[in-house]
Structure 1
Amino acid sequence: MSEYENVRVGKLILKGEKHRPKKRKHKSKKHEEVTPKIDTDSIKHGNWWKVTKVEEISGPVAIEFGNQTYVKALDNGLFTLGAPHNEGEGPSPEEILTAVSINEKKVAFKSGYNKYLRVEKNDIVTGRSDAIGATEQWEPVFEDGKMALQGYNDCFLSIDPDEDSVVANVKKAGSDQFIRIRSQTVREENPLKDVPNEEQGDIEQIEINYVKKFQKFQDKRLRLCKDGKKELKVAKQEGNLHETLLDRRSKMKADRYCK
């Protein structure tokens, strides 16, 4: 039986058939082109985009009720709902407010007449304040993709249909209190958001970052490879930077994963 066990079992080869070794198929990695996401909602509103978090509420903003109708400042310090805009149009100048961040939860708004919005004792919203106090502070509330704006009196911003004025007199937000705050501030995309922290910086800093991350010495002194940085630049271009960094650390015996 031991003789049979030593026989390697393979594919049956018929007489006259040549044995050809299988060629390994290398799967080519296709680089899919990433199509930039187009904000169609913003385009419909004249490139005024909808904010989704408190920290985005700063600079020029507009408060939208319904579809393309915005809160409008009047010269008597009151506010009303402006006329509907056509698709592709942004808010009018009198419908643009300036948002001022107070803290990570609250903001204040200043009208084009350079006055801050506040809630009066009769729950009417006015723009007559020269400074920010308790009555001029607003808390944006986000939930399930919807937004409402809560005043200092714990009531939410809405439109009084009878008086055609802006008020804050409802304790629980409903469809009439849901708003959208739109901004025209340029959104800064961080080009390094998907890059590991260790790989941010020039090629020399990258090597230092990885040595600090993986070094095994208790004295915390850096052991850097004295070879030139040229091979690192080439490795980065060819896509094998990590392997090259590991080889350099292994030369210095400075990596806890190196033998």
Structure 2
Amino acid sequence: MSDYDHARIKKLVLKGEKHKKSKKRKKEKDEAGSSKKPKVVVDEDAVEHGGWWTAKTAGDITGTVSIEFGDRCYLKAMDNGLFTLGAPHNAGDGPDPEEIFTAFPINDRKVAFKSGYGKYLKIEKDGMVTGRSEAVGSMEQWEPVFEERRMALLSETGHFMSIDPEDDACVALRKKVGQHEICKVRSNATRDVVVDTEPKEEKGDLGEVEKNYVKKFQKFQDKKMRINQNDVKELKDAKAQGSLHETLLDRRSKMKADRYCK
């Protein structure tokens, strides 16, 4: 545990590359304070996993990550260079230190993973996944494959990373994706999320939109909705002209179904 905690995460090292002593870099000025922080939409899935959000593209897999198999169970590095599946976590908890890796993009398709022990994940000839490599060669490269909101990690040999159900060991033995090969790479990096600014009343088709606004502003005692029966084409034209809200109010006013009608 102590060795893991004190392992230094260095830059990506390719095989055949000479090691150079790194020079201390000057601290960059923090410019974040000069601009307003963007509003963030709450990611309920990330909240359930301690703030660790699911990577949707290969470009998301960089920096500090975890690899989740099943529900809240993460790939765990051991001090013997092997990997196993960690114990399930409670809702709201993130991965343990041994379950945290550093991802390095190789190109726009492939990545390499380094454990906290400072070793890269590699596919061996027998299909075992080990973490004993000092540098990245072809066998240390993994390709995230996405399909129908699911993901699997493809090795250089054409086999997908999985967890052996018998002993929870990390292997790559199958060329087809089954339930044991499906995983998620999670990141806790700060991200900018586009805010959904569309009011909830305006979600759906125009008929549903009109119903939503009638429910919101109805003033009648019997609580029965009174919907204008005129053709919704009127609403389509109004939306195109930028006068949707005025037209909706006018239609509600004719039905005496709006608290703001004259």
Using the size of structure 1 for normalisation, the TM-score is: 0.59
What is the distance in 2 between the residues matched to 1:64 and 1:100? Answer: 18
For 2:50, the equivalent position in structure 1 comes to 46
How does 1:129-148 map onto structure 2 within 5 Å? 129-148=133-152
SS in 2 for 1:68: coil
What is the distance in 2 between the residues matched to 1:184 and 1:65? Answer: 17
Instruction: Check 1:36–1:103 CA distance in 2 against 1; reply closer, same or farther (3 A cut).
Output: closer
How does 1:1-259 map onto structure 2 within 5 Å? 37-188=41-192
Q: Which amino acid aligns with 1:53?
A: T
Post-superposition shift, 1:174? 1.5
Q: Which amino acid aligns with 2:64?
A: P
Post-superposition shift, 1:37? 2.7
Q: Which amino acid aligns with 2:94?
A: G
What is the distance in 1 between the residues matched to 2:193 and 2:144? Answer: 23
Using the size of structure 2 for normalisation, the TM-score is: 0.58
Post-superposition shift, 1:188? 3.5
What is the distance in 1 between the residues matched to 2:73 and 2:79? Answer: 19
Q: Which amino acid aligns with 1:38?
A: V
Post-superposition shift, 1:189? 5.0
Q: Which amino acid aligns with 2:101?
A: L
SS in 1 for 2:139: helix
Larger mean Cα displacement after TM superposition, 180-189 or 92-101 = 180-189
Post-superposition shift, 1:157? 0.7
Q: Which amino acid aligns with 1:88?
A: G
Q: Which amino acid aligns with 1:147?
A: M
What is the distance in 1 between the residues matched to 2:167 and 2:194? Answer: 46
What is the distance in 2 between the residues matched to 1:126 and 1:170? Answer: 17
SS in 2 for 1:69: coil
Q: Which amino acid aligns with 1:138?
A: W
Q: Which runs of 4+ in 1 moved over 3 A?
A: 188-191
Residues 41 and 194 of structure 2 are in contact (CA less than 8 Å); yes or no, is this contact kept in structure 1? Answer: no
Instruction: Check 1:87–1:190 CA distance in 2 against 1; reply closer, same or farther (3 A cut).
Output: closer
What is the distance in 1 between the residues matched to 2:154 and 2:49? Answer: 24
Post-superposition shift, 1:162? 2.1
What is the distance in 2 between the residues matched to 1:81 and 1:94? Answer: 11
Residues 67 and 183 of structure 2 are in contact (CA less than 8 Å); yes or no, is this contact kept in structure 1? Answer: yes
- Deviations 1:137-166 (CA, angstroms, capped at 9, x unpaired): 000000010000000110001011223210
What is the distance in 1 between the residues matched to 2:138 and 2:43? Answer: 36
What is the distance in 2 between the residues matched to 1:161 and 1:48? Answer: 25
What is the distance in 2 between the residues matched to 1:188 and 1:37? Answer: 9
Q: How many pairs align?
A: 157
What is the distance in 1 between the residues matched to 2:131 and 2:44? Answer: 32
Post-superposition shift, 1:190? 8.0
| % identical equivalent positions | 54
Residues 49 and 94 of structure 2 are in contact (CA less than 8 Å); yes or no, is this contact kept in structure 1? Answer: yes
- Deviations 1:18-62 (CA, angstroms, capped at 9, x unpaired): xxxxxxxxxxxxxxxxx9531000000000000000001000100
Residues 40 and 193 of structure 2 are in contact (CA less than 8 Å); yes or no, is this contact kept in structure 1? Answer: no
Q: Which has the larger radius of gyration?
A: 1
Q: Which amino acid aligns with 2:180?
A: D
What is the distance in 1 between the residues matched to 2:46 and 2:194? Answer: 20
SS in 1 for 2:112: strand
